[in-house]
């Protein structure tokens, strides 16, 4: 087992199963703009780089002129429906309780307002020393300028820090910064894409962290 002092968690697809509400909000936005809606799998591929990229990709090249209006529609709808079906992923509370003595932080490319609304409602905000959203700093995953100040604030050693997530940006944030990476293979990103990035660790389920780190 690998000793760890600091655990960085992604949010969507890692701690919370939020895909259905994101997809529903995107399709509501498209329908409101009289644009063809998309399949769940298509929209999920657009998740991970923040809401602006999500909307930009969902609109497609032909409808970029509707971007501002789409952002307003999406933000309003998602704020009201963010917890319609969203729930904690399997074993989240068990894992967070098990690592209660470790420093834990959420870093997500979701806006902080939406993140806190979600983590507060699901009862997990209390487990984290910091919750960093897309608008918390000028930088987003996988930019090292987002991460290095955090390591300095919490006095964490690089080789005792791990980023745990189901997205390309999570693995690349770890690799770009020089800390450990752990890919969660049952989240929103296809497992083959994550494994091709050669993460330091990989697990099928979050609960496997209990056997990997101490």
pLDDT value of residue 137: 87
- Full pLDDT tens readout for the chain, 214 residues: 999 999 999 999 999 999 999 999 999 999 999 999 999 999 999 998 889 999 999 999 999 999 999 999 999 999 999 999 999 999 999 999 999 999 999 999 999 999 999 999 999 999 999 999 999 988 999 999 989 999 999 899 999 999 999 999 999 999 999 999 999 999 989 999 999 999 999 999 999 999 999 9
Residues 6+ apart with CB under 8 A from 32: 73
Selection from 44, 39, 42 nearest residue 18 by Cα: 44
**Dist CA 139 CA 131 (whole Å):** 14
Selection from 131, 166, 133, 150 nearest residue 50 by Cα: 133
3-state secondary structure of 113: helix
All domains in the chain, ordered by first residue: 6-17+87-212 (3.40.50.1000), 19-81 (1.10.150)
**Dist CA 93 CA 147 (whole Å):** 25
Strands 161-165 and 6-9: parallel
Distances 203 to 2, 19, 164, 177, 194 between C-alpha atoms, Å = 14, 20, 10, 21, 11
**Dist CA 48 CA 169 (whole Å):** 7
pLDDT value of residue 48: 87
Q: Which two structure tokens, joined as six digits, stand for 45? A: 């591929």
Q: Which two structure tokens, joined as six digits, stand for 48? A: 């991970």
Give, rounded to a whole angstrom, the gap between the first and last alpha carbons of the chain: 6
Phi, psi at 205, each rounded to 5°: -130, 150
pLDDT value of residue 23: 96
Selection from 109, 110, 103 nearest residue 129 by Cα: 103
pTM of the entire structure?
0.93
Q: What is the length of the chain?
A: 214
Distances 112 to 11, 16, 64, 163 between C-alpha atoms, Å = 11, 15, 25, 19
Residues 6+ apart with CB under 8 A from 142: 168, 169, 170, 172, 173, 175, 176
């Amino acid at each position: 087992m690998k000793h760890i002092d600091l655990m960085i968690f992604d949010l969507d697809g890692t701690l919370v199963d939020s895909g259905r509400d994101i997809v529903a909000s995107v399709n509501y936005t498209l329908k409101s703009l009289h644009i063809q809606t998309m399949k769940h799998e298509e929209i999920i591929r657009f998740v991970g780089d923040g809401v602006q990229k999500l909307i930009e990709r969902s609109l497609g090249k032909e409808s970029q002129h509707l971007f501002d209006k789409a952002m307003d529609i999406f933000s309003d709808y998602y704020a009201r429906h963010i917890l319609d079906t969203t729930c904690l992923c399997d074993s989240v509370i068990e894992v967070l309780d098990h690592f209660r003595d470790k420093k834990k932080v959420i870093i997500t490319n979701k806006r902080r307002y939406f993140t806190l609304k979600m983590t507060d409602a699901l009862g997990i905000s209390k487990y984290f020393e910091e919750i960093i959203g897309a608008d918390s700093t000028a930088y987003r995953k996988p930019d090292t300028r987002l991460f290095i100040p955090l390591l300095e604030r919490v006095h964490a050693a690089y080789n005792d820090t791990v980023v745990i997530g189901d997205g390309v940006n999570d693995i690349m944030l770890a690799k770009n910064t020089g800390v450990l990476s752990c890919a969660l293979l049952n989240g929103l990103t296809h497992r083959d894409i994550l494994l091709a990035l050669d993460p330091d660790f990989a697990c099928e389920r979050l609960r496997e962290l209990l056997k990997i780190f101490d």
